[in-house]
Chains A and B, each alone.
Chain A
C-alpha cells in the first residue's frame, strides 16, 4: 500500500505582472503635479530578486525640496488648515478606498521593488496601509473628542522620511495621521523603494486631494537632509536607522521643529518553559523571518529557558525545513529577496562575525536563485550577551539564541541593550506575562504572538529605538499641538 516515492511538490504560482502600470521615468510629485528634478538627475530602481531595472526615479535637489515645502506651506495656509474637518475626512477616506481598489497592483509593485514575498505584501502590507488611512480618516472630524479639555491645533508642514522595509505601509503610517490632524506633508521614500509611494502619489492625484497637501520627493540621503534642515518645516517624522536618527536629532537642536524618531531595534523574544511550545516556534519564525528580517522590531534576540532550549532549537530547525525561499512573486514563497546588494553585504558581514565569534551557525539548506540578492534563513546558537551578533541590529534573517535560567535573569538580559523597540513573551501563565511586560523596557510587547500590527495600536521605542509613537491616538497626537 505504501508508495515508495510520495514526494509531492507544490505548483509554482507566479503572480503575473503584465497588467501593472509602471512608467519608465518618475518625476517629483509637487503641488499636485509631476515636476522634473531641477538638475535633471535620475537614478535607477531595480528588482532585488532579479537585479533588473524597473524604472528611473527623480533625484530631488535642495531646490526641489524647497519647492515642495513651499507648496505644502501654501496648501496648509490656504486650503487644508481652513477646510472643515469633515471635508478633510472625506478626502482621506477616498484615498483609502482608491488604495483598496488598486490593492493588487500596489502589492505587486511592492514585491517587485522591495523583494518581499507577494503573500506578505498582499496579505499584510497593503491591507494594513489601507486600514491606516481608514482609521485616521475616522478621527479627522473628532479631534476634539480624541483630546478633550485641550485646545488642539495642527502643526503645519510635516517632513517625513521613511525606510525601505515597508515602503507603502510606512508612507501610510506617516501621511494618514498628519492629514487627519490638518497638516500638509513632504514625504521622501527610501531610495531603493520609491515606487509604491509614487503609485500612492498617483492615487492621491486621482482622489482630487487639493494640490500641495501631499508632496512626494524622491532621492537619496541628501534629499532627506534637505528636508530635515529646511527652515519652514514644523515637524520631522523619521523611521530608519539609529545612526541617521542621531544625525537628525543633532540637526534640529535649537530649532522649533518637533521630531519623532522610530529607529532600530534588537528585540528580545522570550520563551519560558511553560510556553505553548509549537506556537512559540511559529512566533520565533514569524519574529525573525517575516519580511526577510527587515523589520525594526524583529525578534532577533531569542531567549529560551534552559530546560526547553534543546527542544525549541530542534523544533525550530524542523520548522525551517518547510520555509520556501525564492522568487517573491511566487505565492508559495515564505522568504523573498534581500532589499539591496548593500544590505545583503551587511547581513553576510554579520554572519561571518558570528562564525568568527565561535557561535554555532545553522542555515536552511535550500536552493536559492543565482541572480538577485538572497540569504538563507540563519540561526546562531551558543551565543552570549557579549557576542557582537547579539548586540547589533543585523536587519536580516539572522537569529541569535541564548538560554537563561530564571525570569529575573532574562529581564536583565533583555533590557541590557541600547535599543528598546519591542519584545515578545511566551508563557501559558497570565501572571508571568504581566510581570514581564511591566519590567521589560520596550515600546511594544507581544504576549504569545509576534509582529502584530494594527492602526489602533501605538508603536514606538525606548532608548535608542527612538521616541514618539505612531498608530492609535498617540500617533495622532504627534501631529497636534
Chain B
C-alpha cells in the first residue's frame, strides 16, 4: 500500500487554484454535444456508476432492503440496463445490505469514522471502520477531520487517513473531504493531495449533508489532483462526486469532464462513482425517453 511508503512530508507542493479560471474551464465542458447514441452510452455509464445511497437517522432495515432491491432492479421493463455500482449505507446497516444483496456483484459501501462530522475520538473512528468491514462492507467512505484541517493540522489528517487505510487493507477506501466546509478551491486541492498521498483509493467531495456539495468546480479541482498524481506516479485514484447531482444533464457534464481530464481509462465504475439518492430515476427517465421517444410520468419510475 502506498500509505506505508509515504509520509506527510513527502506530499508535493499543491498548486494554487484560480477560481475564475476554473469556472471558465468548467463552463466549456458543458457545451459538448451529447445526444443520440452518445447520450445512451453516457446515461448507461452514469447508471452503472451510481452509489445508491441512504444515509439518514431514520434509516431502518426495511428501508435498506427496499433500496437494495431497487439497486438490482432499476427498471425491469427495459432490458439491457446495468445495475448501480454499489449501495452506500451506515455501518449499522451493512449486515442488512449484505443479506439483501447476497451474491450480487453490487458492492456495499459503508460510511465510517463518525460520519458525517468526524467529530469522534480516533479509537471510535477505527472501531467504526472495523465494524463495517466485519459486517461485510466492500468499500469504506470515511470523512476527514475538517476541524483539524482548517486549524492547519494537516499531518493529523494525513495520519488518520493512513490509519484507516491500514484497517481497510484491500478494501477500497473513499476519502470524503466535505468540500463545502473547506471554503476555497486551494483548500480542496490541498486536502485532495493529502488524501491521495495517505492512501485513498477514491477521493469524494461531500457527505451530502453540507451545501454546496459536488459542484463542477470542486470536482474539477479534485480531478486535476488525480491527474497530477497519475502523471507523477502512474497510479490511478478514483473520484466520487456526491451530493447535489440529481439530474442526468449534470451527471453527463461530469462525465465529459472526467473524459477530458483523466481520459477514458477512468470511465468505468472502478474509477468513477456518483454518490446520489435521486439521480437514478432521472437518468432512467431520460434513458426511456431515448428508447421510446416520449417522456414518461415520474410515477412510472419506482422510488425506494
Report if B62 contacts A (CB, 8 A): no
The reply on A9 being an interface residue by CB < 8 A is yes
Within 8 A of B (CB), among A87-141: 119
Contact A1:B16 (CB < 8 A) given known A8-B259, A10-B32? no
* Contact in complex: A11, B20 (CB < 8 Å): no
Complex contacts, B269 vs chain A, CB 8 Å:
1
Q: Is the CB of A11 within 8 A of B35?
A: yes
Is A449 an interface position by the 8 A CB rule?
A: yes
Q: How many whole Å from B124's CB to the nearest CB in chain A?
A: 32
Interface string of B254-298 (1 = CB under 8 A from A): 011001100011111110000000000000000000000000000
A264 to B190: give the CA distance in the assembly, Å.
42
B241 at the interface (CB under 8 A from A): no
Determine if A428 and B16 form an interchain contact, defined as CB atoms under 8 angstroms apart: yes
Q: Which residues of B contact A279 (CB under 8 A)?
A: 17-18, 20-22, 25
Min CB distance, B217 to chain A, in Å? 12
The chain B residue with its CB closest to the CB of A5 is B264
**Contact assessment for A278 and B17 in the assembled complex, using a CB-CB cutoff below 8 Å:** yes
Known: A276-B21, A314-B231, A449-B21. A6 touches B34 (CB 8 A): no
A309 vs B17: C-alpha distance when bound (angstroms): 18
Q: In this assembly, does B45 line the interface, its C-beta being within 8 Å of a C-beta of chain A?
A: yes
The complex places the Cα of A8 from the Cα of B262 at a distance, in Å, of 13
**Cross-chain contact of B270 among A2, A119, A449 (Cβ < 8 A):** A2
Q: Is the CB of A6 within 8 A of B21?
A: no
In the complex with contacts A6-B267, A278-B224, A11-B18 CB distance below 8 A: no
Q: Whole-angstrom distance between the alpha carbons of A119 and B21 in the complex?
A: 18
Residue-wise, chain B 212-249 has the 8 Å CB interface mask toward A (1 for contact) of: 00000000000010010001000000000000000000
Near A by CB (< 8 A), chain B positions 1-33 give 15-18, 20-22, 24-25, 31-33
User: Judging by beta carbons under 8 Å apart, are B31 and A119 in contact?
Assistant: yes
Is A322 in contact with chain B by the CB < 8 A criterion?
A: yes
Residues of B within 8 A of A387 (CB): none
Given contacts A7-B264, A276-B21, A278-B15, contact A1 B36 (CB under 8 A): no
* Cβ of A202 under 8 Å from chain B: no
Contact with B along A246-280 (1 / 0, CB 8 A): 00000000000000000000000000001111111
Select A8's contact among B33, B38, B227, beta carbons within 8 Å.
Answer: B38
Count of chain B residues near A, Cβ 8 A:
37
Structural contact, B34 and A3, CB atoms closer than 8 A:
no
Distance, CA A428 to CA B21, complexed state (A): 12
Q: Which residues of B contact A282 (CB under 8 A)?
A: 21, 24-25
Interface of A is mostly: loop
Q: Is B42 an interface residue (CB 8 A)?
A: yes
**Nearest CB on B from A201, distance (A):** 31
Report if A13 contacts B (CB, 8 A).
yes
Bound together, the chains give a CA A12 to CA B17 distance in angstroms of 33
Interface size grouping (class) on chain A: 20 to 34
A332 within 8 A of partner (CB): yes
Provide the A276-302 mask, 1 if CB < 8 A to any CB of B, else 0.
111110110000000000000000000
- The answer, yes or no, to whether B39 is at the interface (CB within 8 Å) is yes
CB distance from A300 to the nearest CB of B (A): 20
Q: A331 at the A/B interface (Cβ < 8 Å)?
A: yes
Task: Tell me if A448 is interfacial: C-beta within 8 Å of chain B.
Answer: yes
Q: Is the CB of A448 within 8 A of B231?
A: no
A168-223 residues at the B interface, CB under 8 angstroms: none
- Closest-CB distance, B277 to chain A (whole angstroms): 22
Residues of B within 8 A of A449 (CB): 20-21, 24
Q: In the bound complex, do residue B33 and residue A13 qualify as a contact, i.e. CB atoms below 8 Å apart? A: yes
B60 within 8 A of A: no
Asked whether any CB of chain A lies closer than 8 Å to the CB of B117, the reply is no
**Assembled-state Cα–Cα distance A318/B232 (Å):** 14
Residues of chain A within 8 A of B25, CB atoms compared: 278-279, 282
Contact A276 B15 (CB under 8 A): yes
In the bound complex, residues from chain A placing their C-beta under 8 Å from that of B35 are: 11, 13
CB <8 Å contact, A10 and B38: yes
Please tell me if the beta carbons of A1 and B270 are within 8 angstroms of each other in the complex.
yes
**Contact of B66 with A by CB under 8 A:** no
Task: Tell whether B152 is near chain A: CB-to-CB under 8 Å.
Answer: no
Are A8 and B17 in contact, with the CB atoms below 8 A? Answer: no
Question: Which chain A positions have C-beta within 8 A of B24?
Answer: 282, 449
Shortest beta-carbon distance from A279 to chain B in Å: 3
In angstroms, Cα B268 to Cα A400, docked, is 38
Known: A278-B17, A279-B25. A12 touches B264 (CB 8 A): no
Within 126-172 of B, Cβ neighbours of A (below 8 Å) are at none
Contact of A11 among B21, B39, B224, B264 (CB under 8 A): B39
Q: Does B264 lie within 8 Å of A6, measured CB to CB? A: yes
Q: Which one of A1, A2, A3, A6 has the greatest number of beta carbons of chain B within 10 Å?
A: A6
Q: Please, which residue of chain A has its CB at the minimum distance from the CB of B264?
A: A6
In the bound complex, CA of A314 to CA of B227 (Å)? 12
Which residues of A have CB within 8 Å of B34?
Answer: 10-11
Cross-interface CB contact of A276 among B18, B31, B105, cutoff 8 Å: B18
Closest to A122 in B: B31
B41 within 8 Å of A (CB atoms): yes
Tell which of B33, B45, B255, B260 touches A331, judged by Cβ atoms closer than 8 Å. B33
Contact with B along A447-460 (1 / 0, CB 8 A): 01100000000000
Decide: A3 and B268 in contact? CB cutoff 8 A: yes
With A1-B105, A331-B31 as known contacts, state yes or no: A11 contacts B37, CB within 8 Å: yes
Q: Is the CB of B260 within 8 A of A322?
A: yes
Listed by A's residue number, 10 A-B pairs whose Cβ atoms lie within 8 Å are: A8-B41, A8-B264, A11-B33, A13-B35, A278-B25, A279-B25, A283-B21, A314-B231, A318-B231, A332-B32
18 additional A-B residue pairs with CB within 8 Å, beyond A11-B33, A13-B33:
A3-B267, A6-B264, A6-B266, A7-B264, A8-B42, A8-B255, A8-B259, A10-B32, A11-B35, A13-B35, A276-B15, A276-B18, A279-B20, A322-B260, A330-B33, A331-B32, A448-B21, A449-B24
Binding site for B on A (CB under 8 A): 1-3, 6-13, 119, 274-280, 282-283, 314, 318, 322, 330-332, 428, 448-449
Q: Please give me the 5 A-B residue pairs with the lowest Cβ-Cβ distance, nearest first.
A: A279-B21, A13-B33, A6-B267, A276-B18, A11-B38
